[in-house]
Chain A
Amino acid sequence: MELVTPEAGLLFWMLLSFTIVLIILKKFAWKPILNSLKEREDSIADALQSAEKAKEEMKKLKADNEAVIRQAKAEREKILQEAREIKIKIVDQAKEEASQEANKMIEMARVNIRNEEAKALEQIKTQVAELSVDIAGKILREKLADSKEQKKLVEKYLKDIQLN
């Protein structure tokens, strides 16, 4: 029976010591311990979260990089294409210009030739005229050697003048 009968003295000491332990531990042990546990847990959670964030950011950055590279490639392709087009254009233009120039030169040559021809013809004409005058003079001289003939001619001319 004694085993299950609580002693007043022991009840008192237990009440006192348990209360003291509860109050002191609550203030000086549990509070700092639980606070720092919580802080640590929070900081670990934070660290994990920021790591996850960094990972996400890395992924995004990588995707961005790829996009940039892809864009650059496209740009290069476009520039090359344009260059190719320009080249063709330039070559075409050059060809055109060259042919035009050639035509122009040919035309000029033609004109020159024509001019030279005309000049030559003129010269020939004058020469032919001179020659003919000469020849005519010579023939006239030959013919006028005969005075009768000379008379006839003077008369003829005179007639003409008179008519005027």
Chain B
Amino acid sequence: MKQIKQILLLLVLAGVFTLSLTSAIEPKDDSSASAEEKSATESKKTPGHFDAEEMIMGHVLDSYEWHLLTVNGKHISVPLPVILYSKDKGLNIFMSSKFHHGHESYKGFRIAEEGKYTGKIVEVTDDGKEIRPLDLSLTKTAVALIFSVILMLWLFISVANSYKKRKGQAPHGLQNFMEPMIIFIRDEVAESSIGEKYEKYLPYLLTLFFFIFFNNVLGLIPIIPAGANVTGNIAIPIVMALFTFTIVVVSAKKYFWLDIFSPPGVPWWLKFPIPLIPVIEFSSLFIKHIVLVIRLFANIVAGHIVALGFFALIFIFGEMSLLAGYGISVITIAFTVFLTLLELLVAFIQAYVFTLLSALYIGMAIEEEH
């Protein structure tokens, strides 16, 4: 109750503050706002005009530089290393600042502005065609990924060391934070879904869970080097689902394949001459893992898009009138706080669901008999 009162008070204060601010600049604002409105109706994509889609997609998609902020139309961003390999030009490593935010080409490479490679680095051949070289650039997502990897390694190795140091004693500090989650994954996910042989797969499941959870949570922190859309980039869940898929296929027992190609209890005419059930079962093996990818990807992307949508509201209203922009910011911030808390829950739930389903698929694969 007290907390709700505090939040309300904060919101009122913010409102008063913004009103006083807007009233101070209002006279100047009127003309410019109307002028802006005119220009907005004339052409939708004039420079300096706020484009919500570009802002949201620019965040959600990967990029070659880490955009921090834009001041008076000038982009301030951290350049990231570009690593390219092509047949003609060989290996090329340089910083993405050489492209000057995609406006210039460098060593025959440039960031495509249109076509199917829009936003990607392309190699311009002699006859003017654009081809895609092997692109191993450390993009924004890759850097955020590496940062999360370093964070995870440091965190868990230090936790492991404190376990070694404080043998037989009660957990302390970080241990207290990690232990319930580790035990939760061990008991509620691994052991209950896989059964007795869970210990073999436990390191993978723990790594999977914390990898997703950390990247999800880091995606919610809007300060470099966190805040990139890592788990919401489809390549990330694809690799993790591939790991699960590989483990399932490699460790699958006879009964698993029998269930797919000749499931017991199914009438023979569903298997022969048209192998309807085997085909369905076989494709479900792939669909299950594809759904695993899409579930995580879509949830995280949706969270980021909605949060950014709220922020875009500020600028859209701000272009109409400064007062409306400040006014809506109060609501936006309240909603974003709520949404961030919700996303924190989603971050945990999605990590849990991905891990649980992986464990279930592994459990089904290694099942001996029914």
Interface residues of A (CB under 8 A from B): 2-15, 17-18, 20-22, 24-26, 28-34, 36-37, 39-40, 43
Contacts and interface: CB of A to CB of B under 8 A. Distances in A.
Given A5-B234, A33-B182, A21 B239 contact: no
B347 interface: no
Contact of A29 (B57, B139, B157, B239): B157
A99 B343 CA distance: 114
A20 B239 CA distance: 13
Contacts of A5: 234
Interface of B: 57, 60-62, 83, 118-120, 134-139, 141-142, 145-146, 149, 152-153, 156-157, 159-161, 163-164, 167-168, 178-179, 182-183, 186, 199, 202-204, 206-207, 211, 233-236, 238-240, 243, 297, 301
Contacts of A2: 61, 118-119
A10 to B, nearest CB: 4
12 contacts: A10-B139, A14-B142, A14-B238, A21-B153, A24-B153, A32-B163, A33-B182, A34-B182, A36-B167, A37-B163, A37-B179, A37-B182
Contacts of A43: 168
Contacts of A11: 235, 238-239
A25 B152 contact: yes
A43 B301 CA distance: 45
Q: Is the interface of A mostly helix, strand, loop or mixed?
A: helix
Nearest to A24: B153
Given A3-B301, A30-B203, 4 more contacts: A4-B297, A13-B142, A21-B152, A28-B156
A8 B135 contact: yes
A39 to B, nearest CB: 7
A14 B137 contact: no
B11 to A, nearest CB: 34
B203 A22 contact: yes
Given A2-B119, A17-B145, A37-B179, A12 B186 contact: no
A43 B170 CA distance: 12
Nearest to B175: A33
Contacts of B199: 34
A7 B60 contact: no
Contacts of B159: 29, 33
Given A24-B153, A33-B160, A40-B168, A13 B203 contact: no
B61 A3 contact: yes
Contacts of B142: 9-10, 13-14
Pairs of residues from A and B, 8 with the lowest C-beta to C-beta distance, nearest first: A29-B156, A26-B203, A6-B235, A10-B235, A14-B239, A36-B163, A13-B142, A30-B203
Name the residue among A4, A17, A43 with the largest chain B CB count within 10 angstroms: A17
Name the residue among B134, B149, B179 with the largest chain A CB count within 10 angstroms: B149
Contacts of B182: 33-34, 37
Name the residue among B138, B202, B239 with the largest chain A CB count within 10 angstroms: B239
Contacts of B57: 3
A13 B135 CA distance: 11
Contacts of A20: 149
B81 to A, nearest CB: 11
A34 B240 CA distance: 23
B120 to A, nearest CB: 8
A43 B134 CA distance: 55
Contacts of B61: 2-3
Contacts of A10: 62, 139, 141-142, 145, 233, 235-236
Contacts of A37: 163, 179, 182-183, 186
Contacts of B138: 13
Given A17-B149, A43-B168, A6 B234 contact: yes
A7 B156 contact: no
A158 B241 CA distance: 178
Nearest to B148: A17
A54 B182 CA distance: 33
A91 B187 CA distance: 83
Nearest to A14: B239
A3 B234 CA distance: 7
A26 B199 CA distance: 12
Contacts of B243: 18, 22
A18 B62 CA distance: 19
B92 to A, nearest CB: 13
A9 B152 contact: no
A29 to B, nearest CB: 4
Contacts of A17: 145-146, 149
Contacts of A9: 83, 134-137, 139, 142
Contacts of A33: 156, 159-160, 163, 178, 182
Contacts of B202: 30, 34
A4 to B, nearest CB: 5
